[in-house]
Amino acid sequence: MPEKFRKTLLNRQFSPIITSVKIVTGVLPLIALLAPTAWAQGGSLDVTVNTGATSSSAATRGVAAPSLTVAKAPQTKSLPPIPKKTTPSRGSLSSRSGRPQDQPQSAPASVTVRPAKVAVDSLAIRSTRIASSKVLSTATRGQTLAVISEMDDLYGVLMVNNTIGWVPKDAMELLDYNTEITLASTPSEPKTTTSSGLADRSGLTERQRQVLREAFSYMGVPYVWAGNTRSGLDCSAFTKNVFSTIGVDLPRHSGHQIQVGRTITDTGNLIAGDRLYFAMKGGSTITHTGIYIGEGFFIHASSNHKCVDVDPLFKSYVNKLVAIRRD
Dist CA 167 CA 181 (whole Å)? 21
Phi, psi dihedral angles at 12 (to 5 degrees) = -70, -35
**Catalytic entry in 235, 256, 305, 307:** 235
**Catalytic entry in 256, 288, 305, 307:** 288
Of the candidates 325, 292, 286, 288, the one whose C-alpha atom is nearest the C-alpha of residue 305 is 288
**Catalytic entry in 256, 300, 305, 307:** 300
Would you say 218 and 162 are in contact if contact means Cβ atoms under 8 Å apart? no
The enclosing H or E element of 300 equals strand 297-302
Active site residue 300: yes
Sequence-separated (6 or more) residues with CB below 8 Å from residue 297:
115, 175, 177, 310, 311, 312, 313
What is the amino acid identity at position 268?
A: G
Adjacency order of strands within the sheet including 275-278: 262-263, 321-326, 275-278, 288-294, 297-302, 307-312
First-to-last CA distance in the chain?
128
Dist CA 185 CA 211 (whole Å)? 11
Active site residue 235: yes
The enclosing H or E element of 256 equals helix 254-257
268 DSSP 8-state letter: G
Q: Which residues are catalytic?
A: 235, 288, 300
